[in-house]
Structure 1
Amino acid sequence: MRFRSPSPRLFSRVPLAGRYPAAVALSLLALSPYLILTTATALMEPRVMGDIGATRFELQLASGMSNAAYAFGAVAAADLVQRVARRRIYLICEAGFVLSSVLALSAPDAGLFTAGVVLQGLFTGMLLVSALPPLVTGHPVERLRTTAAVVSLGLFGMVAFGPLVGGLVGSLGGWRGLFAGLAALAAIGLTIGALTFEGNDPPARRARFDWTAIPLALATTTLPFFGVSWLTRGSFADPAFFVPVVCGLICGVLLVGGQYRKTTPLMPVRPISNTLPVVGMVNAMLVGACFTSLLELTEAYLTREAHYAPLRVGVLVTPQIVGVFVASVLFRRLVSTRWTPHLALSGTISLAIGAGVLLAASTANASVVVPVAALFLGFGAGAGVTPGLFLAGFSVPSAQIGPTFALVELLRSEAAFLVGPVLLHLALTIGLAGGFHVVVAITLALTVIGALLLVALYALGGARPEPPDLASWLSGPSTAYHSPALLAAIRKT
């Protein structure tokens, strides 16, 4: 979104306005606390259960509804930014995250804890759409390469860091202290945001509330995430599992289809229904789902079958941070070139390699095999998801990047946080001793088949590798990529 120049009065109230390092800091502080928590929870679960008297189902439900709130919050913010200044949304949501963290850390029971973490997810999803687009579009094109790396580290670097944090808490205790630390980080982000975030005139103050998109987005997230949470206490045959999941997925199809047909949609489905953005989005969904599944499965195998302490498990998967960092450095170099689609594919291939390495894991050799696999998984996540996000974002005018990010994150979260619990439950049903390798093999097959289909989709679209026109994208209504239509090569014949 191209904001008009702020007035001198605004500069006097926002002393760090326009400072790129401050803008990077506020974006990272907006996203990092919650993203760390998403992968830290599993390893500290016994500590939390014991302190608040919660069951495993109650904690799984809290986690699932929090993830649902994150995805829904991104869509809700895409609607709000049309009528409310982004600065106001950012400050309210960052303050809300501080308060929700305090609510969670002081919770004496599962009810208040769930309320706290669900609000954390909601506010973070809204922060994604309010804080990230100005970082991408509000600075000179020369900064865009660094911004791309920052987004990659912010989204998956913190996710990769989560298991180590969770392992420390799971072994040493102090989960309330962790939430206090997250609240402190958010408070710092709130302070930096108040000193940095520029105001803007909302593009459509009188825009009507989208009564089709918002309710459908709520159903698309909450229903399936409740269904998979039920697996903690039930089975695949339970109506409490499959009815919400099926209904939620139907709502998701209606949401995307309705947005495609609308003249003025909340999310730009039609513009990103071409070859490059579709390949990028599907790749992000595939990599996100398989990465989350393999990480959750590996943690469960090491804790329940190999009987490793949580801290040891966290340390063993920590090399994924190195993989994410390498992917971020590569993305910084390649984002302005024609090689971004190839980088996204390399992420999928790396994920498949990581899954292949995990097939060789056993309780006897896990200390050697898991770190190697984690390195490939981390690179796969970093190289596969964020480039896919930008392939979609560069395929629409820069003013629409916020709603585009909201749509991609909705779809990615839907895939990642639905597939993982389902595959983990399948492994537990079989028995982790053998189920671990069965489910890893299934995930490997899904990754390979998905990669082949994406290559075929790219080829059948007739897309030729070309660098994005970032200068035109930032300066006006043009798109950075001019992607051919889906299956364009077939349609011409």
Structure 2
Amino acid sequence: MAERAAPAREDGPPVMTTAPAREPWTVAVVVCLSAALLPISLTGGALAAPEVGSDFDSGVAATQWVANAYMLTFAAFMAVTGSLADRIGRRKLFLGGLAAFAAAGFLAAAGPSVIVVDLARALAGAGAASVMTSGSAVLAEAYTGPRRPRVFALLGTSIGLGLALGPLIGGALIALGGWRTLFAVIAGIATVMLLVAPALVRESRGPEGEVDWGGGVAFTAGLAALIFALVQAQQLGWTDPVVLLAAVLGAGLLGLFGAIERRRPEPLFDVSLLALPKFLAVCVVPTVLAFGFVALLVVLPPYLGAVEGADSGEVGLSLAAMTVPTLVVPMFAGLLAQRLAPRVILALSLLFQAAGAAWLTGGFHPVAVALVGAGFGLSLTILDGTAVSVVDPGRSGMAAGLFNTVRLTGEAVGIAAVGAALSTFLHARVGDSDAAALLRGESVGELSADYTGALAVVLWTVAGLSLAGAAVVWRLLSQPEPAPVAEPAVLT
């Protein structure tokens, strides 16, 4: 028998009770299956966006919000949902996140307009953030000793499976019943998890403390304003006052977030960690990979539809060539981690992405996207472990939280920035109306070469960014460890 804190009472601190040390694996199954839905919703949304845009004949920005809104709120709410889970209860937030995720899916499936679908996708992202943060906390509390590493390995595998199989599942569902069927099926599975979870997941809380509402609001609003500027620039132009105001507001709020965090005794994130060269290096890697791997999940579906004439099922198969390596490569990369230094593995992951992006400039090729996926999968082997190993053990939780927020923020910004750049180059080549049709995945015959050319400019930029990132990471991870401080001599 092992002691474990019972749920906190309102009239006093947690009471220590005895509970079985071995939790049933059903708790892990519910959390892991729920977590697997989150990347499926991301890739499924990317596949559905062109279909949604065509059905409602919406503009480029409104169409891209189908994917961007999900990633935006997913990243932004990660900053506060972890703290909320500790304060109001991990089980409560997990169930609330699942309920929001499921309700958003049904709302998107029944959406009468693209605006409703976009708002539903934003709600789904907020629910996904709650599920991810509270679900991880539930597993950390429920499983101890040697079972904990195994259950978190299962969680990572579940997310990897969702990412790898998401294009296949999403493409098949859209091909069978349309984009509404995709969102409805994902919401239905989430509802099943929501009905089962209350009987299996126990309530738990973290230590007492205040939620950093000021920092959380500043971060969420700042990131939202920045992504809004990037997406709306595709329709309004970079010099539009609304775009400029949103960009300035976003930068100011994110600066305010940093100032708030430096003054709080218990900040959401200790931003001073970014001053550590090795921690900064492991934050650079997923940020750069987001501009390649993650962004391509969103920009390739309309390209394949417009240029290759692929339907939803064929697009899903094409994207699977990129996502499946993210599941397969880590199985073998563990052997490399025993023989190569982290800087070599992380630099290689960025070089793989650079090679794949450069290859794709001549047109779609499955081996090229497989290279991009292999680079992403190679980084997964050591990124999380390296992020927490470069700080003191007492700050490992803070380091993990900051790292994951940087990773998700990079993905949200990467999707928006690459989409905005592609839209800008395409509008310059073919004009507004044809560009909007192409970005919705509609074939415009003789304009296919223009689409490929515009995408090539973006891909060359991604390749260059990946090469620069590899050099920066190599440099940062090559810096020597600081010399230990000598102990003062003691006279005896």
Q: TM-score range by the shorter chain?
A: 0.7 to 0.9
The separation in 2 between residues aligned to 1:17 and 1:194, in whole angstroms, is: 19
Structure showing greater radius of gyration is 2
The question of whether the paired residues in 1 share the 8 Å contact of 2:56 and 2:114 is answered with yes
> What is the aligned partner in structure 1 of residue 257 from structure 2?
255
Question: Within the alignment, does 1:453 sit opposite 2:472 as a pair?
Answer: yes
Cα offsets for 1:85-109 (capped at 9, x unmatched): 1111111211222222222212222
> What is the aligned partner in structure 2 of residue 438 from structure 1?
457
Q: CA deviation at 1:73?
A: 1.7
Cα offsets for 1:113-162 (capped at 9, x unmatched): 23321111101012221112443575456456655654544445433433
Q: Which residue type is aligned with residue 180 of structure 1?
A: A
- Give 2:23's match in structure 1, choosing from 18, 23, 41: 18
Q: CA deviation at 1:228?
A: 2.0
With over 3 angstroms needed to count, the CA separation of the structure-2 counterparts of 1:105 and 1:296, relative to structure 1, is closer
Where in structure 2 are there 5+ consecutive unaligned residues?
Answer: 8-14, 430-449, 486-492
The separation in 2 between residues aligned to 1:378 and 1:147, in whole angstroms, is: 25
Question: Within the alignment, does 1:323 sit opposite 2:342 as a pair?
Answer: no
- Scaled by the length of structure 1, the TM-score of the pair is 0.79
The question of whether the paired residues in 2 share the 8 Å contact of 1:34 and 1:120 is answered with no
> What is the aligned partner in structure 1 of residue 423 from structure 2?
425
Q: What secondary structure, in the 3-state scheme, does the structure 1 residue paired with 2:345 have?
A: helix
Q: Which residue type is aligned with residue 465 of structure 2?
A: L
The separation in 2 between residues aligned to 1:328 and 1:144, in whole angstroms, is: 20
Root-mean-square deviation (CA), in Å?
3.5
Q: CA deviation at 1:277?
A: 2.1
Cα offsets for 1:352-390 (capped at 9, x unmatched): 22213223x33xxx4xxx211222222222232573344
Q: CA deviation at 1:316?
A: 1.9
Q: What secondary structure, in the 3-state scheme, does the structure 2 residue paired with 1:265 have?
A: coil
- Give 2:112's match in structure 1, choosing from 94, 108, 128: 108
> What is the aligned partner in structure 2 of residue 221 from structure 1?
223
The separation in 1 between residues aligned to 2:351 and 2:27, in whole angstroms, is: 33
Q: How many residues align?
A: 450
Question: Within the alignment, does 1:376 sit opposite 2:371 as a pair?
Answer: yes
Q: CA deviation at 1:259?
A: 2.0
The question of whether the paired residues in 2 share the 8 Å contact of 1:279 and 1:388 is answered with no
With over 3 angstroms needed to count, the CA separation of the structure-2 counterparts of 1:249 and 1:157, relative to structure 1, is farther
With over 3 angstroms needed to count, the CA separation of the structure-2 counterparts of 1:148 and 1:343, relative to structure 1, is farther
The question of whether the paired residues in 2 share the 8 Å contact of 1:286 and 1:415 is answered with no
Q: Which residue type is aligned with residue 477 of structure 2?
A: Y
Q: Percent identity?
A: 22
Q: CA deviation at 1:318?
A: 1.2
Question: Within the alignment, does 1:41 sit opposite 2:41 as a pair?
Answer: no
With over 3 angstroms needed to count, the CA separation of the structure-2 counterparts of 1:49 and 1:421, relative to structure 1, is closer
> What is the aligned partner in structure 1 of residue 414 from structure 2?
416
- Give 1:119's match in structure 2, choosing from 119, 123, 131: 123
Q: CA deviation at 1:69?
A: 1.3
- Superposition pairs for residues 344-355 of structure 1, below 5 Å? 344-355=346-357
Q: CA deviation at 1:83?
A: 1.4
Cα offsets for 1:291-311 (capped at 9, x unmatched): 123344433432223333332
The separation in 2 between residues aligned to 1:191 and 1:130, in whole angstroms, is: 17
Cα offsets for 1:421-459 (capped at 9, x unmatched): 233224423442322222211110100011101110111
> What is the aligned partner in structure 2 of residue 474 from structure 1?
none
- Superposition pairs for residues 77-88 of structure 1, below 5 Å? 77-88=81-92
